[in-house]
Amino acid sequence: MGQMFSKTPNEQDQGLASSFVSYFKNFKMETKILSPEAIRSIKDHLLNGDMQRANAVITAVLKDIDNSPLNIAVTGGSGAGKSSFINALRGIGHEEEGAAPTGAQETTMERKKYEYANAPNVTLWDLPGIGTPNFQPKDYLEKVKFKEYDFFLIVSATRFGINDIELAKAIKFMKKDFYFVRSKVDSDLMNEQRSKPKSFEREKVLQGIRNYCVETFEQNGVEVPEIFLISSHDLADYDFPILTDTLLRNLPAQKRQVFLNSLPNITETTIEMKRETERQHIWLEAFKAGALATFPVVGIVRDDERNLEDRLNRYRTCFGVDDKSLQSFADNLKVPVETLMTIIQSPHLLKTTKEEQLGEKLLKYLEIFCSINGGLLASGLYFRKYHCLLLHFLDIVSNDAKVLLKETYSKDHQNPTASTTAGPLVTTARVS
């Protein structure tokens, strides 16, 4: 009945709805944490002047984002490099505590889960290869509990075998997503360059690997899927960034942020994508809290101080610039951790002297934010001090992550062999 008497939107309702839609329209599909349906629902409620229902939708969205689990299955034959790939995804070295075991012999005899300290909702599952004695194709999916996974990554170090292809067919039949990962392409390139130093052409070799995989599918009468060429020693190179973009586009909106937060900082683009999802999260929280208003630059309450500290620590962990990650960076770069502390800002944001109170320091940050942004976040909308400070902290932390990434690449440039001798942490930020 209420729908029959919905009122005509007034100018204020139209402006609020327009600003809401405009803000979220500016984000790429890969980083949007609101589904088109959620955006339409919130917009309609705003046009009807129904803030309560708009906030109810936002509350549900934020709850989904915070609580939605993401389970990723990694499977492939013996020697495919599954464990190395899992360790690289988690940003840890093969000899570190909690790393997936690697070796020449088959190490995965039953499914095993690997979790992230900074992204507790994300779990990587290392599955036994299909076709092993205990996991024959006819009952493989049932034995590995295929219903639990959001998508499958099928890994091979050579051409994809008949078991991999049959697995893909079965997964597709069950209406699950899967992606083919051709691993160890760095080794293929190195071997090719050693055997044919005069005629070696990197792109030609990579295209040859891709063509070889395509032929396998064509010979088995299977529609050729997208194939991603990967090196677990350097995720920033080859097709891994393309793979992550593909996964993000195909994931439900509410799972994009948690997946991004689990990724190591392999490129500035990855860091920026994390920042974009967090900005949307802050905006939704502010909107839900009724914080869209002109704010006076006045004192910060004690609860705000505690909440800001908690959120800052969360950002530092998410972006790999927390104390544990900094120590790991320092160890791998062979520099004192104090050296890294001098080139980044986030560890010092909430530290005060005897002469300076935390509230005073936060007000200075607020003034800096306002001088850059004018307090403006979306057309005609302003946030109160707490959410502006969150945005300021987020910008500082994400910039620190970029600074450390550049420092890592600079070190690698001085020592070209580093990425093959020290494990994935040399080229990725530690995030677990």
**pLDDT tens track, the chain, 432 positions:** 344 444 566 887 888 888 888 889 889 999 999 999 999 999 999 999 898 999 999 999 999 999 999 999 999 887 888 889 999 998 888 778 888 887 655 556 788 999 987 888 999 999 987 776 677 777 788 888 989 999 999 999 988 888 888 888 888 888 889 999 999 999 999 999 999 999 999 999 999 999 999 999 898 888 888 899 999 988 888 999 999 999 999 999 999 999 999 999 989 999 999 999 999 999 999 888 775 554 555 556 677 788 899 999 999 999 999 998 999 889 888 899 999 999 999 999 999 887 788 888 888 888 788 777 765 554 445 567 788 889 999 999 999 999 999 988 776 545 443 433 333 333 333 333
pLDDT at res. 262: 92
Q: What is the pLDDT of residue 418?
A: 40
Tokens at residue 106, please? Answer: 């088959």
Structural tokens at position 224: 């050729």
Per-residue model confidence (pLDDT) at position 401? 96
The answer to whether residue 296 is domain-embedded is: yes
Q: Is residue 219 part of a domain?
A: yes
b/e map 13-50, b = 16+ CB within 10 Å = beebbbbbeebbeebeebbbbbeeebbebbbbbbbbbb
Residues 77 and 125 in one domain: yes
Does residue 316 form part of some domain? yes
Structure tokens at 268: 């500035």
Residue 172 belongs to some domain of the structure: yes
Domain membership of residue 16 (yes or no) is: no
**46 within a domain of the structure (yes/no):** no
> CB burial class (10 A; 0-12, 13-18, 19+) of residue 413?
exposed
Among 199, 228, 262, where does a domain finish?
262
Domain that holds residue 109: 68-262
Per-residue pLDDT at 111: 87
CA dist list (Å): 137 to 129, 167, 177, 349 = 10, 7, 18, 55
**pTM to 2 decimals?**
0.85
Q: What is the pLDDT of residue 296?
A: 53
Are 281 and 33 within 8 A, CB to CB? yes
For the chain, the straight-line distance linking the first and the last C-alpha, in angstroms and rounded, comes to 52
Residue for token pair 């980044």: 344
- Check whether residue 111 and residue 230 sit in a common domain: yes
| Domain shared by 385 and 422, yes or no | yes
CA distance 30 to 289: 26
**Both 288 and 384 in a single domain?**
yes
Task: Provide the pairing of β-strand 122-126 with 151-156.
Answer: unpaired
pLDDT for residue 98: 82
The string of DSSP codes covering 170-205 is: HHHHTT-EEEEEE--HHHHHHHHHHH-TTT--HHHH
Q: Which residues contact 275 (CB under 8 A, 6 or more apart)?
A: 394, 395, 398
> Is the domain of 271 the same as that of 403?
yes
The dihedral built from the CA positions of residue 315, 432, 128 and 184, taken in this order, carries a sign that is positive
| Measured CA distances, 154 to 110, 126, 374 (Å) | 16, 11, 49
Is beta strand 381-382 parallel, antiparallel or unpaired with respect to 376-378?
A: antiparallel
Q: Residue 67 is which amino acid?
A: N
C-alpha closest to that of 376 among 359, 386, 388, 365: 388
On whether both 352 and 276 belong to a single domain, the answer is yes
Q: Please indicate, yes or no, whether residues 258 and 278 belong to a single structural domain of this protein.
A: no
The confidence score (pLDDT) of residue 272 equals 96
Phi-psi region of 423 (alpha: psi -120 to 50; beta: other; left: phi over 0): left
Domain boundary among 238, 262, 286: 262
Beta-sheet strands, E only, within 264-333: none
C-alpha to C-alpha distance for 227 and 230, rounded to whole angstroms:
10
Residues 213 and 245 in one domain: yes
Shared domain check, 252 and 305: no
Q: Is 57 exposed, middle or buried, given 0-12, 13-18 or 19+ CB atoms closer than 10 A?
A: buried
- The number of folded domains in the chain is 2
Domain boundary among 217, 246, 262: 262
Query: Tokens 């760095």 — which residue?
Result: 186
